[in-house]
Amino acid sequence: MYRPQVEPSSLIRLRQVIESGWIGLGPVTGQFEQELAVSDLIGKNPVAVNSGTAALHLALVVADVPKGSAVVVPANTFVSTAAVALQHQCRVILADIERATGNVDLESVREILDTEPDVSAVIAVHYAGIPCDLAGLSELSHRYGVTVIEDCAHAIGSVWQGRPMSESPNIQAYSFHATKALAIGEGGCVTFPDAASAERAKRLRRLGIDMSARSWGNPYDIPELGFKYNMGDIAAAVGLAQLEGLRENLRKRRSNLIRYRERLADSPVELVRESGDSDRSGGFAVPILVKNRERVRKELDAAGIESEIYFRPLGAFPIGATRPTPVAERFAQDVICLPIHPLISLDEIDYVCDRLSECVA
């Protein structure tokens, strides 16, 4: 399902950081942010942090989402997306999803906004790398005066209506966890349409520390208390190395995804995919929907094929959500994600598709 792949040049970069005598937050983290900013693969003004979860939490804080308000989160996501709203002392309201894309259903969001007066933000997740309808979200955001934040943990390399994710006007949170397209092990970054928000996030990721008025008698001020969320130069060194191979890896993920779609086109398997012609999944995952999911997963396992379930619907966890999300519940019973990482060969994908077609026949 996963194969850790770390660029060999990370060893050289790590040696440089270790020998430099500065291994915490420092110039290499700044360089990593610089390279991310010019890559055009992620949003603008990136601020590097120690996880995607921290990135989502900082997004809520810097967007000034009021404490005590409600945040809408799709039921089909990793628990982080809801956990950060609770950490921010907000109530979580789960929105249902579209079966075809796995993404948040805008009708469900609209229903919530019509009936719940205290919603201040919606966190949209680009599930498996499949872009959400950002135009629809932004229309709702204007009409109801709510903030849209994007959980881009799966969305590096994704394209919405012919445009890269970097062109989104929203605050975005990315993860560099071991299983993600840009894998550091642990890490993440939050991006902002404006530089002032990024400056604020850079203070808040390190307890709110501001050294701009530093003097012999005063090491720093803390105008606004923050969190211990900063990335350090050891992680940034690996991040810089991983960026070197990122475009090629995304190209492989994309061709792996296309191979799966070609080979499964005539099978009874339901492919979860983009709804718009000019949308493009970055190929983080290959979600499919099948009947008898447990039996199929067992048979795949017996044929030496690992698979994964993304995700258990969030209603299953103690997050205080009460609204039913029937489409997400059903999706979570039927979904299987197949291996797509850049080290899998097209022959291996054909093998997976052949075995899968036998199981579901």
Q: Which two tokens stand for residue 251?
A: 């190209």
Residue among 122, 148, 153, 240 that touches ligand PLP (CB under 6 A): 153
Binding segment for ligand PLP (CB under 6 A), chosen from 31-39, 75-83, 199-207, 275-283, is 75-83
Sign of CA dihedral 234, 239, 244, 249: positive
Backbone angles phi, psi at 38, to 5 degrees: -85, -10
- Least separation, in Å, of the C-beta of 53 and ligand PLP? 3
Beta strands in 6-118 (DSSP E): 47-49, 70-74, 91-95
Backbone angles phi, psi at 273, to 5 degrees: -155, 175
Pick between residue 174 and residue 263 the one whose CB is nearest to ligand PLP.
174
Q: Is 335 in the site for ligand PLP (CB under 6 A)?
A: no
- Least separation, in Å, of the C-beta of 225 and ligand PLP? 22
Give the total of residues touching ligand PLP (CB under 6 A): 14
Q: Which two tokens stand for residue 292?
A: 């008898």
Question: The tokens 């915490």 sit on which residue?
Answer: 24
Binding segment for ligand PLP (CB under 6 A), chosen from 89-97, 148-156, 222-230, 320-328, is 148-156
How far is Cα 310 from Cα 102, in angstroms, rounded to an integer?
Answer: 10
Angle at 227 between CA 226 and CA 231, to 5 degrees: 125
Q: Is 53 in the site for ligand PLP (CB under 6 A)?
A: yes
CA distances from 238 to 149, 233, 254, 294, 338 (A): 27, 9, 23, 37, 27
- Least separation, in Å, of the C-beta of 178 and ligand PLP? 9
Q: Is 78 in the site for ligand PLP (CB under 6 A)?
A: yes
Pick between residue 25 and residue 128 the one whose CB is nearest to ligand PLP.
128
Question: The tokens 């995919």 sit on which residue?
Answer: 273
Instruction: Name the DSSP class of 167.
Output: G
| Residue nearest ligand PLP (C-beta atom) | 52
C-alpha 44: how far from its chain's center? Answer: 16
Q: Is 76 in the site for ligand PLP (CB under 6 A)?
A: no
Pick between residue 77 and residue 158 the one whose CB is nearest to ligand PLP.
77
- Least separation, in Å, of the C-beta of 177 and ligand PLP? 4
Residue 243, amino acid: L
Q: Are 72 and 121 in contact (CB under 8 A)?
A: yes
Residue among 59, 106, 125, 305 that touches ligand PLP (CB under 6 A): 125
Instruction: Annotate each residue in 33-52 with x if it binds ligand PLP (CB under 6 A) or - if it does not, as one string.
Output: ------------------xx
Pick between residue 50 and residue 69 the one whose CB is nearest to ligand PLP.
50
Q: Is 188 in the site for ligand PLP (CB under 6 A)?
A: yes
Q: Is 77 in the site for ligand PLP (CB under 6 A)?
A: yes
Q: Are 125 and 98 in contact (CB under 8 A)?
A: no
Contact positions vs ligand PLP (CB under 6 A): 51-53, 77-78, 80-81, 125, 151, 153-154, 175, 177, 188
